[in-house]
Amino acid sequence: MKPTVFIDGDQGTTGLQILSRLEGRPDISLLTLPDGRRKDPHWRAQAINGCDVAILCLPDAAARQAVAAVTHAQVRIIDASSAHRTDAGWTYGFPEMEPAQSARIAAATRVSNPGCYPTGAIALLRPLVASGLVPEDHPITVHAVSGYSGRGREGVQAHEGPGAADAPAFVVYGLGLSHKHTPEIQAHAGLTQRPVFVPAYGAFRQGIVLTIALHGRLLPDGASAARLRDCLQSHYAGASLVEVLPRAQSDTLEHLDPQALNGSDRLRLAVFANPRENQILLAAVFDNLGKGASGAAVQNLDLMLGRH
């Protein structure tokens, strides 16, 4: 019998992407609610308790309410909100984070899908912190620029709706340094000190460039750009969706295009350096709607269904 998958919030930016990926798949039965029932607590509770796996594409408060509505123990959940990303009772849905993570996700009943920005930051930092090349108390600053779809329906409407001509070309936000992704980055990167996280979005629909600058003088002896790159390459050697650019390729790059991997679920990591000044730059490029959201959710779903 085919497993039933229910998407709660299938008309939002992430939900629509997941819906389009799952529609027509012969190995699952997709459960959706008609327009008049999508926001009705009774019908949503009926749907979530009548499925095998529920994917929550909801604001945080609504996601918590949806989880609270589950009464059938066999229901498994993938939460694409940020409500449970640092909850010890939930499995973090980043399969490539460490060797055993895919197996943990496959066996889990509660999986929290990573945030788009944290996906890039954690992918870069966690292997380096775990190896001791970047100290766990290192002063980290993460800067990231996303396409406007990262703001959800509001961002898409602002840049594609009637007032699109007045939409800003570039905005830096989170100036209070309290963005909700920051604790997630700290927890899953293995940092003991809160990083500074500075997000931004530009006038393009999707894609992310995320960078982390490091001063070599503050790193342990021998923590060169080459060693950091080798560490990342070793960690992701068996990961089909994560690539680490070799030095010969990164040394020829003069810019990073946030849209380079749009339409894919791939995550590209790179290490750049100025040896003379002893400075290193870590970078990640990926689609915020691919590996940063819907692609990650479907990857986790397939693990939970034994499709990988």
Regarding whether 227 and 153 lie in a shared domain, the answer is yes
Task: For residue 145, give the nearest of 211, 244, 243 by alpha carbon.
Answer: 211
End-to-end Cα, the chain, rounded Å: 18
Q: How far is CA 84 from CA 35, 77, 270, in A?
A: 27, 11, 29
State the Cα–Cα distance between residues 92 and 84, nearest whole angstrom: 9
CB atoms within 10 A of CB 205: 17
Strands (E), 43-140: 53-56, 76-79, 91-92, 110-112
Helix axes 13-22, 295-304, angle to 10 degrees: 50
How do 110-112 and 141-147 pair as beta strands?
unpaired
Residues with active-site annotation: 116
**Together in a domain, 229 and 161:** yes
Is-contact 307 21, C-beta < 8 A?
Answer: no
Assign residue 176 the CATH number of its domain: 3.30.360.10
Most distant pair of Cα atoms in the chain: their distance: 64
Residue 196 three-state SS: strand
Number of domains in the chain: 2
- Residue 147, H or E segment: strand 141-147
Question: What are the φ and ψ backbone dihedral angles of 60, each rounded to 5 degrees?
Answer: -55, -50
Are 220 and 131 found together in one domain? yes
229 and 97 in one domain? no
Q: Please check whether residues 271 and 225 belong to one and the same domain.
A: yes
Residue 38 sits in the same domain as residue 54: yes
**Distance (Å, whole) CA 294 – CA 82:** 14
Please indicate, yes or no, whether residues 181 and 219 belong to a single structural domain of this protein: yes
> Domain of 31: which CATH number?
3.40.50.720
As given in the structure block, the two tokens for residue 266 are 């791939």
Q: Virtual CA dihedral for 302, 20, 18, 180, nearest 10 degrees?
A: 150
DSSP β-bridge partners for residue 271: 282
pLDDT recorded at residue 183 = 97
Q: Which pLDDT score is estimated for 35?
A: 84
Tally of residues, the chain: 308
User: What CA–CA distance (Å, rounded) separates 192 from 244?
Assistant: 26
Which of 298, 280, 253 is closest to 141 using CA atoms? 280
Digit-by-digit pLDDT tens for the chain (308 residues) are: 899 999 999 888 899 999 999 998 999 999 988 888 888 889 999 999 999 999 999 999 999 999 999 999 999 999 999 999 999 999 999 999 999 999 999 999 999 999 999 999 999 999 999 999 999 999 999 999 999 998 888 888 889 888 888 889 999 999 999 999 999 999 999 999 999 999 999 999 999 999 999 999 999 999 999 999 999 999 999 999 999 999 999 999 999 999 999 999 999 999 999 999 999 999 999 999 999 999 999 999 999 999 87
Residue carrying the six token digits 């602002």: 158
Parallel, antiparallel or unpaired: strands 208-215 and 141-147: antiparallel
Do 32 and 104 share a domain, yes or no?
A: yes
156 within 8 A of 148, measured Cβ to Cβ: yes
The verdict on 69 and 153 lying in the same domain is no
> Are 28 and 2 within 8 A, CB to CB?
yes
Q: Does 194 lie in the same domain as 155? A: yes
The pTM assigned to this predicted structure is: 0.95
Q: Are residues 77 and 204 in the same domain?
A: no
For residue 298, give its domain range. Answer: 4-114+293-304
